[in-house]
Chain A
Amino acid sequence: MADTGVERDFFEVAVEEAVIDHVQDRLDAFLDRDPTVADTDRTRFEMALVEIVGNIVEHAFAADADEGGRRLSVDLRLAPDRIEATLADNGVPHELDLGSVTMPDTDAVSGRGLALAVAAVDDLSYERVDGRNHWGLLCRRAGG
């Protein structure tokens, strides 16, 4: 690895519901590499990552009937001052403005995912590049 002190894990998976547990397992093992990661940072990063992966599973392939072609790549990076993830999928584009995402009322049974992700991490970004959806998550570590 070129960057000193930066841990990295990159993997690609087929998009299906079981992928959520798989990504959580990978993230847990990845963050275990650094025992100084604070529980609060681990919690909020995992929370945001699961919401975005869940969003991809639920929405990104709504118009795509070919399950075999649904791919998600996950790039995890851990530095002394930050935890980052970049997710890319070949699903349908999203029409969304993350700046206008709001938490729904307490009686809503859905619609909290993106709002929770926005609230959990320090930066969440989405862009459509070369026919793929790209999500970026950044958590600035406590004391980092």
Chain B
Amino acid sequence: MIEFDVRTTSDNIGVVVPRGRLNMVAARELRERLTGLVEAGTTRIVVDLAETTFLDSSALGALVAGLKTARQAGGDLRIARPTESVLTVFKLTNLDKVLRPRDDVESAFHG
């Protein structure tokens, strides 16, 4: 199962923390959460993957869709702290080039 923590920092950066497995069922919710943030005016988003134990192609699709939505609204989406196994999925799909993993949430928009 999966849980999402969503918060917005004082400088209006949205932080989404998926805890658990990001598979097909969870990917739909992730996409809704990302869209919800952008629609609420938070267009800079960090997805903190430190507690994401698994991530599949549908979750990658949700992240790419979130990236597009954020950029269209003038913002951006970044990922932080993926585990080694989750990073493998980004590398196999070349998405590590587009969604370059950041070392921590705080510096994701300042590094």
Contact = CB atoms under 8 A, between A and B. Distances in A.
Interface residues on A, range: 20 to 34
A119 B92 contact: yes
> Which has the most chain A C-beta neighbours within 10 Å: B54, B57, B95?
B57
Tell me the interface secondary structure of chain B in the complex.
helix
Interface stretch (B21-29, B38-46, B74-82): B21-29
Interface in B59-109: 60-62, 64-65, 68, 84-85, 88-89, 92-95, 97-98
A6 interface: no
Interface residues of B, number: 25
B25 A107 contact: no
A16 B47 CA distance: 28
B93 A21 contact: no
A116 B93 contact: yes
Nearest to B86: A43
Contacts of B56: 47, 50-51, 54, 113, 116
Given A43-B85, A46-B54, A18 B94 contact: no
Given A39-B84, A51-B56, A116-B57, 19 more contacts: A17-B24, A20-B23, A47-B89, A54-B23, A54-B57, A54-B58, A57-B24, A103-B94, A106-B64, A106-B95, A106-B98, A107-B64, A107-B98, A108-B64, A109-B64, A109-B68, A112-B61, A116-B89, A120-B92
